Structure 1
Amino acid sequence: MLFVSDGCLGLTGYDPISLEANEVNYEADIVHPDDTETVADAVEESVRTGDSFTLEYRIRTNEGKIRWVWERGYPVPGDDEPAARIEGLVLDITARKRLERALREEIVFTRRLLDVQRDIVYTIGHNGRMLRWNDRLVDVTGYDDPEIAEMSLQDFFPGAGDGAGTTVVHEITGRGAGVTTELTLVTASGDRIPYEISGDPVVDAAGETIGATGVCRDISERKRRERALERQRDELSRLNRINALIDEIIEALVTASTRETIETTICDRFTQSRFYRGAWVAERRSEAGVAAASGTESERCEEGVRSEIGRAFRENVVSVVRPAAGETAPAGSDRPTVLVPLSYGDTVYGVLVVEGARSDSPGEAERHAFEVLGEVVGFAINATTNRKLLLSDVATELTISLTGTNAVFVSLSERLECSLTLEGIVPIDGQRLLCYLSVEGTTPEAIREAVATDPTVSEPRVISRCPEQSFLEFTVSAGSEALRLVEYGATVQSMYCEQGAGEVVVRLPPDGDVREAVTIFREAFPGAALVARRTVTLPAQPVVDTRRAVTESLTERQRSILQAAYFAGYYDSPRKTTAQELADSLGIASSTLHQHLQAAHSKVLGIVLTEGTPSSQIADTEIPR
């Protein structure tokens, strides 16, 4: 070094004299080792060419600190060489370097922060051209950064007039405030995604709007929720109106006196509703369960629907059928058809076929409403059939052979080589019957053991026994021959089974469908055969009038309890059944039994003793809701 200014001490911590005396070598002792080669090459090149140079590099101070410096060197030519010496200036730029580094880190941090956002962040110019964006735009659209750099915001939202970018900028420019709108983003592959786009103005130093920056948010999930909520509101509104319709039908059934009136009422109400095109009732016409339609609307029934009707008879479950609509299919063939079994217990009287007026299928709540309707209509048909049989002066009597069937009492007589005679039968709810039988040729203990594994028969209760004969109470449930007949509306007059052979005599109303009754019975017990059919005359009018008065006066519950008490020997002397035993058989409390019996006794005695039925004593018909 020929000359070093006094500023060297403050910059490097070395005395300028030490550098001038070559006690300290600038390149070896002060320049950072990693930058020594760079500095040496620049000086060497300058000496060789005679050109000035500018460098930024690091030095180590006398205290061991690292500083950044900026150096400008000028070669001074000699007599015979381009650079006899170099003069220059070295400035401390450590503070600037720190600011630059902080700025770079801030830029990187900001970029990373934007790139991890789930929303698209953008900045556009006054013409909508893309200036800045985060990685989310690349991920969503499928375009790469070079492609996006050549695009405008409106290219991503092509369906918004002059383009979303122009629209947003115009809105911001005109209002001087942020805007928010909903548009559809189109990806490179053509996918369309609903987005909410918001933008705020970007202004220059003069306060003029030169572009916009904002956020684009995917609102697909929100739109799905909105559509789902709208569908739920529609379904709830529709369900409320359908429930109101079904309530009207149920109320109308109270006054219906015949099965035909019941079915006509249902079909008329559904046909008048704007939710359904029509309704009709399919009737059972064969042992195989194939349904034959009845009613004017049946002409629209396709073969696929007919087969489903047969399944509805067999399975007793509400179902929805949507026929496949081809190119030549008639209008409306894509609309669903609802099949509703009209059932009481396990007996299906018919299938209500309801043709929808809309293409969407019924929801779970609507199906449940149809299930309730089917049960109520089945109950009403059963009650009407029983009432007609009780109040009529004639009836159709059927004798059905049970020999060779799997009927529980026939099988029991064959296994134990005994005979069973039905003495009485009492329905106690929609799923059970109390049956009272005289048994000869075996013991109650043997019968208990024989029926222990039969799910349709509970453990029999012994009412009385003697060496030759026992009198037993059975509780039978779904699947028994007696229950199927009672559910259909028939009354069992007698049943006798002996060593595998059996016969049952039942009565139907005079206009009862014999073929349907026999079909139902044969489906439950293959091998059953109709032996005889005849029309019988019932007791004279005074007796019929008394029976009518009793029937109308007693509730179904009171009538069942009164019959059970009679057949179980509650009124015998001495009593064969106590009140507690009878209550246990019926599944009720003893106090409840006495209340029902007292009420029933009062009504029956009132009819007999006063030859009439006081209106205050007639109970309303019980219909489950």
Structure 2
Amino acid sequence: MPAGSLTTALRETLSLFDRAGTPLTTTEVAAQLPIGRRSAYERLERLVEADRLDTKSVGASGRIWWQPSPVDHEERDDTATPDSPTERFESLIEHSPDMIDVLDADGRLVSVNRRLCMELGYSEAALLGAGIWEYDESIDEDGVETLLSGLSVDDPRSFEARYRRADGSTFPVEVNLIRLAGSSTDRFVAISRDISDRNRDERALRDRVRQQEVVTELGTRGLEGVDLDALMAEAAAAVAETLDTDYCKVLDLDTEADELLLRQGVGWEEGIVGSATVSAVENESQASHTLQTESAVVVNDFTTEPRFSGPDLLTDHDVRSGISTIIGPLDSPWGILGAHDTAPREFSDHDANFVQSVANILATAINRHASDQQLVAQRERVGALNDLNGVIREITNAVIDQSTRAEIEAAVCERLAATDSYQLAWIGAVDRASNTVEIRTEAGVSGYTDEITVSVDSEDPLSGGPTARALQTGETQVVNDIPTNAGHDPWRDPVESYGFRSSAAIPIAHEGTMYGAVNIYADRSNAFERQERAVIDQLGEVVGHAIAAAERKRALLSTELTELEFRIRDVAATFDVTADIEGTTTFDTVVPIGDDEFLVYGTATDAAVDSLTQLVAVLPHWQAVDFDTDDDPASFELRLSDPPILSEIASYGGYVEGAVIEDGDYRMTIHLAPTADVGQVADLVRAAYPNVEMLRRQQITTQHDGFRRIQRHLGETLTDRQSAALETAYHAGYFEWPRGHSATEIADTLGVAPATFHQHLRKAEKRVFDELLSTTSQQRLPAARH
């Protein structure tokens, strides 16, 4: 049909199409004329019959229409190079290494290139007419208008998204979206590129940076001379977290027993760290192979590993892959450091080097602390240290109960001298006027301190003993064989007359302040070797801390608090629970909801969920508990019918800084205002928990308590019902999306109607925002310290 024979309606319809061949849908044509969709479809069909338009179906029931170019109906060589700019442009798009698609204003595809089809796994026919949201997980149908609004040729939009293939797999992409120039209708071009490799490289770089940070942090800790087991535990936790493995271990080699002790580690079954062993000589085992290999040993999958087999420690924990390396030199290794995972995986050379670097740090720390033989001897003497540990616990409890420095020092000496292990204990401090050590208190055999004088003047011969050195260096000084030690020559006669064979001088210091030294004497040689020395080192720290707390009570500042720590051993036995209390349960927040009822919010690990449920069944005032196991650890809401200790402490001007049930024991840390009556609070805790023991009482200086003060200020602003509604909604996940609990559920928890809950919540929200945002309130609120 020639152009002149077209009706006015058909010419009007044809004018909507440009010669570039940009397709339109029936709906778009009907909207632009405007006429009904059926009438538009009839006109388009007549134009197709007149050979003025081309058409094809898309999707289940859609169809697109376009005006063919002059060469569309001519025979041509498909292999020839396109001549026109349009053809060259279309060829570039079709063969582009990037994924390209053209969208209409509704976000549906009107054109795609072969790269997009190949990457997504769909045919061109399947994609045309489809919505972008059907494979782009970052957008939904309702968000198309927002996505496309404001775009222009000169204002492209770039963002990252995630595309979903036909097989259900996904991959990350970088998308550049721009409005198409020269189109009579709204058209948008999306150019996408797979960034999987880039993201993988960025993750690898981040992993390497993190590994270097961990090596630096552990190296610094090792140079600080921290406790060896503490350093090993920190290293095991850091390696497991950094490599994202299920397990990490530090094996201690016992050359006499030809076995390796699992000395420290993370992820292993409870109770085996410190007791499980692995053979160091078993044929074809990973441990023996590692001990003979200087570089790190990497296993991608134990089921296909031809070099060796895994020990029971690994197979019992379903280990499939890992890295292990020796700690120390190949000719005299101390042990093995290993990281393991329950899934087969490939570890990079950087991962292996990271584990080797951590092992080198541990080897350096071990060499700094003692020789291999001494470490073996320490394990053999664990039983002999039980008495000393008991003494330290008694001293700790004793100094907690004392309120003055003199009482603390007297308690220390009396507890030490009361044992069969030591004959004398005395505490001295420097008298700056005479540069000598003044005896402040003593216990045990009498008369020795009357016969000695200790100087701190480096020019004085009486300054060469362990007491003066301890005061001068701030480090514990031990003499394990006094008869052969020249440092005791000035006091040789009294030493021999009292039969002392070993002595230790432990500095008493806290935060750079030296309070003196405690001196201990024993009638046995080698009484203060490494493990025993480690324990007496703790004594100096305990006493120094206690004295510092007593001194600080004389001049408290407004930023100082009193901290109390309590413990209930064996919660199961205390509350007559038949099963063991396992896992970790934290009690974070208490919300009064009226009528002597309270809601307690916290978290519980998997093992603790059943334990908490058992406590609810046994304790009469624990009414019910509700868990949200989608969280890790699970969060819970516990309903109590009696005032919980957390709430009662608040009436004394304090708060519970932390409360946790872990390994069957309950620990609670309380912070009190300087003016609070510590004795009354302690009595309150003992009344609630008769079996409780106080572990620590100390004065602390807070640096970031402004937020606590703001919370207290807001708490004074809100009514009880408003506070209950706001806190319960917050801890129940009402402000999250999707919501953890609905308004109706929270209202049921509070025992009110939904409308009442909403009323209290809105008023609480308004008051909070008034306090935080209004100028007068900002001036009134106590400032948080940074």
The TM-score by the shorter chain falls in which range? 0.3 to 0.5
Structure number with larger C-alpha Rg: 1
What TM-score comes out, normalization by structure 2 length? Answer: 0.28
| TM-score, length of structure 1 as denominator length | 0.34
